[in-house]
Structures are given as structure tokens and as C-alpha cells.
Structure 1
Amino acid sequence: MKRRGLLKLGIGAAVVIGVAGAGVALIKPGLVDGRLSPGARELMRASAIAVLGDLLPADGVDAQLARLDVSIAALPAATRKELSDALGLLSTVAGRYALVGLSRPWAEAGIDDIRTAFDAMRLSTSNTRQQIYHALRDLNAIAFFTEPANWKTAGYAGPRDIP
């Protein structure tokens, strides 16, 4: 195959993948009525456990998901749309495998598998994979650390009074 043919094949594949990803996001959005869809909830549940680790109490996952809904609702509409598309794509088998590297569904993946996948995304040479890692990590961190009740768990005494 000559270089020109290879370039055409690469461009064609990129277009097909882009259209497929956009189609999936339209069919299966990550946000429904401004809240996490069922697939996105499983994704964010797994990522919360992986990102927050021991900071997140075993019975605190549902509270974390509720805080995520509130945090996401406060984002600008354009950002929510992009986030919805990304979460929708990551909730699919193809998106999860291609972008995160997990072959098992989010609800079935072990915590070590998810942490390994997150480390691979963090250290990836792909900007897209790094951005996905940062988005999942940052969303969970924002939702968790904006709750004053969680500050003690993280070893933060809270803001000090300035004399």
C-alpha cells in the first residue's frame, strides 16, 4: 500500500469512528434531564471508587453520585453537552474498550482493573485518553471535596479564621 492510500484509509477510519461516536452519543446520552443516565452512573460509581479510594466510605457512593449530579448541573450548557457525549460514549462497550482499555463492563470491573486503566490513561501519549482521565478524576474530586463533611476524612480541618 502506498502512502497516499494509507492516508486515505486513516482519514476514512477517523471519519467512521467520529460518526459512530456521535451517533452513539445521540442514541445513548450520558446525561438525561441534567442527571447521570444509568450507564453514566455505573461509570461514575466505578470511577469514584477508583479515584477516591479509602476517602470514600463504603456507604458514601450514592451520596457522591448525588453530589456529581449537583456539580454537573452547575456547569455551563455547552460543557454539559460535551460531558454528556463523552459519558455516553464511555458507557458503551466500544468506547470503554477503545478509550479506557476496559473489556469488562464498569459494574463488573474490579477496582484494580479500573485503577490500572486509569493509570494507563494518565500516562498515555494520547491527549484524548489523558483528557478523559482528568475529567473523571476532577469531576469526582470536585464533588467530593466541596462537601465540608468530607474535609475531616481528607485530613483538612477547614478554613481558618483570619484575625
Structure 2
Amino acid sequence: MIFSRRQFIRTGLAGGALLSFSGWLNAAGARALSAAEREMLAAVCSAMLDGALPRDNEQRRRWLALTVDGIAGEVAGLSLATQKEVGELFGLLVVAPGRLVLAGVSKPWREASVVDVSEFLQSWRSSRIGLLQGAYGALHDLIFGAWYARSDTWEAIGYPGPPQGFF
């Protein structure tokens, strides 16, 4: 598909506006996760942790909430510059145009299926664009870091916990 000059300019302006809007949403730096960010993270966690999460809906929601809380704690412990970058990623994924263009998910995060979210994650993981691979890596590390930071998840992988020393 060949773009005309006018289409190219319009696309560039729309992309710039979307990035500016995302930066404006996250200009405050360190902060608590918004409800929309928590919803997006719960959907992404549900896809990444699908085989490890309980099948019971109530337990699944509780474990997802604990994992999202862990992610919030991890993000709060990052440097301010990294918090800003993560906030920009979250900001792009929570707005509908960003979700549709970057993730290819047309439904709101609370309505997106595990399959839809898994497909978007796989596309980022295997993308030829390094920025998308990096974003996938950041989401992966935040989610699995928060998941395995909780001792109640260790039994599933046979991890007995940290060694008990003389301290």
C-alpha cells in the first residue's frame, strides 16, 4: 500500500497526538496505578499466567489482583526515568486507539479474551521491531517478578524457598 503525502502527514500527526496524550497522562511520575491500568494488567496477567492461575473465577480474580498489586510495588521501586517509561507504555495500552493500533485488541481489556491478549503478546514477542520486543520483555518481567515474589506460588514449581542461613 502506497501512502500519499497527505495520508503520511495525517498519520504522523495522529501518532504524535497519541504519544503526546500518553505523555500528558503520565507526566506526574511515581503514582498509583489507575483503574484502567489495573484492568489492562489483569488482562495481560491472565494471558501470561493462564496455566498457573486457578480455574475458579473468584480465586482467579483474587490472584490476579495480588499480582497486579505486586506489579504496582515493583514499578514504584524502579527509578523515576524507568517509571516514566513504564507509565508511557501503560498509558498507550489503556487508551482505545493505542490498544487497537499497538495491541490489535478491539474490545476493552475487561472484555478481551485470553486468546486475544495472548495473540497480541505473541506478536510483540516475535516482532521485528525491537521496541515492541522490549515492551513485551518489560511486561513479562514485571508480571512474572510479581507472581514469583509471592511465596504461595513457589510450590507449583517445586521451589522450597530461599535457604535458611545463620542470619
TM-score (norm 2): 0.80
Q: Once the two structures are superposed, what CA deviation does each residue of 1:45-96 show, in whole Å capped at 9, x if it has no partner?
A: 0111111123234131111111111111101111111111110111011111
Q: Structure 2 unaligned segments of length 5 or more: list them.
A: 55-59
Q: Sort the Cα spacing of 1:103 and 1:88 in 2 relative to 1 into closer, same or farther, 3 A.
A: same
User: What does 1:1-163 align with in structure 2 at a 5 Å threshold?
Assistant: 10=8, 13-14=11-12, 16-26=14-24, 28-29=25-26, 34-57=31-54, 58=60, 59-160=62-163
Distance 2:27 2:161 in 1: 34
Q: Note if contact 1:34-1:69 (Cα within 8 Å) is conserved in structure 2.
A: no
Distance 2:108 2:131 in 1: 21
Distance 1:119 1:20 in 2: 24
Distance 1:107 1:29 in 2: 22
What is the root-mean-square deviation of aligned Cα atoms in Å?
2.8
Distance 2:27 2:43 in 1: 15
Q: Which moved more, 1:15-24 or 1:148-157?
A: 15-24
What residue identity is the alignment partner of 2:126? L
Q: Which moved more, 1:93-102 or 1:17-26?
A: 17-26
The runs of at least 4 consecutive aligned structure 1 residues that moved more than 3 Å come to 8-16, 28-33, 159-162
Aligned residue-pair number = 158
Q: Note if contact 1:30-1:39 (Cα within 8 Å) is conserved in structure 2.
A: no
Secondary structure, aligned partner of 1:55: coil
Q: Note if contact 1:31-1:40 (Cα within 8 Å) is conserved in structure 2.
A: no
Q: 1:99: Cα distance to partner?
A: 1.1
TM-score (norm 1): 0.82
Q: Note if contact 1:45-1:65 (Cα within 8 Å) is conserved in structure 2.
A: yes
Percent identity at matched positions? Answer: 28
Which residue is 2:57 aligned to? Answer: none
Q: Structure 1 unaligned segments of length 5 or more: list them.
A: none
Secondary structure, aligned partner of 1:153: helix
Distance 1:33 1:76 in 2: 9
